[in-house]
Amino acid sequence: MSVRGMFALAIAVLVVVSAVAVSSAGARPVAARPSSPGARGWINISAEPDYRFQPSTFENVPTNANITVTFTDDDVMQHSFNISSREGFVIPAGYTPTQMSALFAAYPPIFSLEVNYSGDVAVGTFHSNDTPGWYEFVCNVSGHFQNGMYGFIAFGENLPANLTVPQRVGVGGGTISPAEAAVGAAIVLAAAVVILLGLRHRATARTPRDPRARRGRRGPPPRHGPPVHGDVTLK
Sorted by where each begins, the domain ranges of the chain are: 40-155, 172-202
Convert the pLDDT of each residue in 90-141 to its tens digit. Answer: 999 899 999 999 999 999 999 999 999 999 999 999 999 999 999 999 999 9
Q: Report the pLDDT value the prediction gives residue 165, as an integer from 0 to 100.
A: 72
The CATH code of the domain at 40-155 is: 2.60.40.420
Distance between CA atoms of residues 185 and 35, nearest Å: 54
Can you count the helices (H) and strands (E) in the chain? 3, 11
Ramachandran category for residue 78: left, alpha or beta (phi over 0 → left; psi -120 to 50 → alpha): beta
Q: Which residues pair with 68 in a beta bridge?
A: 42, 125
Convert the pLDDT of each residue in 28-78 to its tens digit. Answer: 333 334 445 567 899 999 999 999 999 999 999 999 999 999 999 999 999
3-state secondary structure of 124: strand
